[in-house]
């Protein structure tokens, strides 16, 4: 169970390394198996390659085991994807989450395959493991089952899983059935329990920034019966938390709630073009979040 971690920003709108390390430790203490940093929730595509490398280095230097980190390294430029992935390997990280190249639309599976293949061949490191990232609502570049099959056939030890953030449960279960041994990770928190019961591997989710303990409980106890009151309660809190942060823009909502929890207003900052919540929305969200917290004590 991995958290799609938020990235705190300093007054210059640069990643706040110390605050991010503290947040990573909090998430691990709450039950996360690892941290998926520099993904969509972490605003990765608003940061330069140098900023991304520096943040990853800071986390590793702070003593968080590289094996517990899943940095996002897929960007639009082939050579930059290679550089980010090589850098991750250089600091001891062996598994990365990799978006397909996403700027040009309507490209074929052949083109996407060629891009992934170039990355693997040019890096030429047997340690590398890649989790594909399927988020077509953002990338506009879906990852087809045919492409997965082709990549696995060519590089069976490299392409080990996929994060599916499409929300399409049928697509997730179809991948579980078609690709034995391939880790299918859900990106929508409420779907963790049903996907685990279909043979899925786990999750990389945004709401884990708020309800990591509940997600960890579901991950550890999903085989329990529907009569398991604790399991039902954890699932209900996960669903409620996801609904809570989806009423207004999700990343701004998550940061607003984390800022309140951490007692540091700087957590509310997002790098443009993303924006913090307007004061009226933030007030409404925090009132609802307080009611949610009180109801779960």
Predicted confidence at residue 227, as pLDDT, reads 79
Predicted confidence at residue 297, as pLDDT, reads 59
Q: Give the residue extent of every domain in the chain.
A: 2-224
Could you report the per-residue pLDDT of 148-168, keeping only the tens digit for each? 999 999 999 999 999 999 999
Residue range 181-188: mean pLDDT, rounded: 97
Residue range 266-273: mean pLDDT, rounded: 96
**pLDDT exceeds cutoff 90 at 234:** yes
Superfamily, domain 2-224: Aldolase class I (3.20.20.70)
79: preceding bond cis by omega (within 30 degrees)? no
Annotated ligand binding at 81? The verdict is: no
Q: Name 124's Cβ contacts closer than 8 Å, sequence gap at least 6.
A: none
**pLDDT exceeds cutoff 90 at 295:** no
Annotated ligand binding at 41? The verdict is: yes
Interstrand relation of 2-4 and 34-36 (parallel, antiparallel or unpaired): parallel
DSSP secondary structure letter of residue 14: S
Q: What proportion of the chain, given as a percentage, has pLDDT over 70?
A: 100
Could you report the per-residue pLDDT of 86-135, keeping only the tens digit for each? 999 999 999 999 999 999 999 999 999 999 999 999 999 999 999 999 99
Positions annotated as catalytic residues are 133, 163
User: Residue 110: which region, alpha, beta or left (left: phi > 0; alpha: psi -120 to 50)?
Assistant: alpha
Predicted confidence at residue 270, as pLDDT, reads 98
Residue range 260-268: mean pLDDT, rounded: 93
CB 222 within 8 A of CB 197: yes
- Please state, rounded to an integer, the average pLDDT across all residues of the chain: 96
End-to-end CA distance of the chain: 23
Residue range 58-75: mean pLDDT, rounded: 98
Interatomic CA distance for residues 38 and 44, integer angstroms: 5
| 3-state secondary structure at position 282 | helix
Predicted confidence at residue 53, as pLDDT, reads 98
**pLDDT exceeds cutoff 80 at 225:** no
**Whose CA is closest to 264, among 74, 30, 8?**
8
273: preceding bond cis by omega (within 30 degrees)? yes
């Amino acid at each position: 169970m991995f958290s799609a971690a938020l990235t705190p920003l300093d007054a210059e709108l640069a990643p706040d390394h110390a605050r991010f390390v503290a947040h990573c430790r909090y998430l691990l203490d709450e039950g996360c198996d690892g941290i998926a940093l520099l993904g969509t929730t972490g605003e990765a595509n608003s940061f330069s390659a140098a900023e991304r490398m520096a943040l990853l280095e800071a986390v590793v230097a702070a003593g968080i085991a590289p094996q517990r980190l899943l940095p996002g390294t897929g960007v639009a430029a082939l050579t930059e994807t290679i550089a980010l992935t090589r850098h991750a390997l250089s600091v001891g990280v062996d598994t990365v989450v990799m978006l397909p190249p996403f700027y040009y639309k309507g490209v074929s599976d052949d083109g996407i395959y060629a891009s992934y293949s170039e990355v693997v061949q040019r890096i030429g490191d047997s340690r590398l493991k890649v989790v594909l990232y399927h988020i077509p609502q953002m990338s506009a570049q879906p990852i087809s089952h045919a492409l997965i099959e082709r990549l696995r056939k060519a590089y069976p030890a490299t392409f080990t899983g996929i994060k599916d953030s499409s929300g399409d449960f049928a697509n997730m279960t179809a991948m579980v059935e078609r690709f034995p041994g391939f880790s299918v990770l859900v990106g929508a928190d409420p779907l963790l329990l049903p996907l685990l019961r279909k043979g899925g591997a786990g999750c990389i989710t945004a709401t884990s920034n708020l309800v990591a303990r509940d997600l960890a409980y579901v991950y550890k106890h999903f085989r329990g019966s529907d009569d398991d009151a604790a399991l039902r309660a954890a699932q209900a809190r996960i669903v409620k938390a996801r609904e809570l942060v989806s009423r207004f823009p999700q990343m701004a909502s998550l940061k607003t709630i984390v800022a309140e929890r951490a007692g540091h207003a700087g957590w509310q900052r997002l790098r443009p073009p993303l924006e913090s919540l307007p004061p009226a929305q933030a007030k409404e969200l925090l009132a609802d979040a307080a009611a949610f917290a009180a109801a779960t004590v």
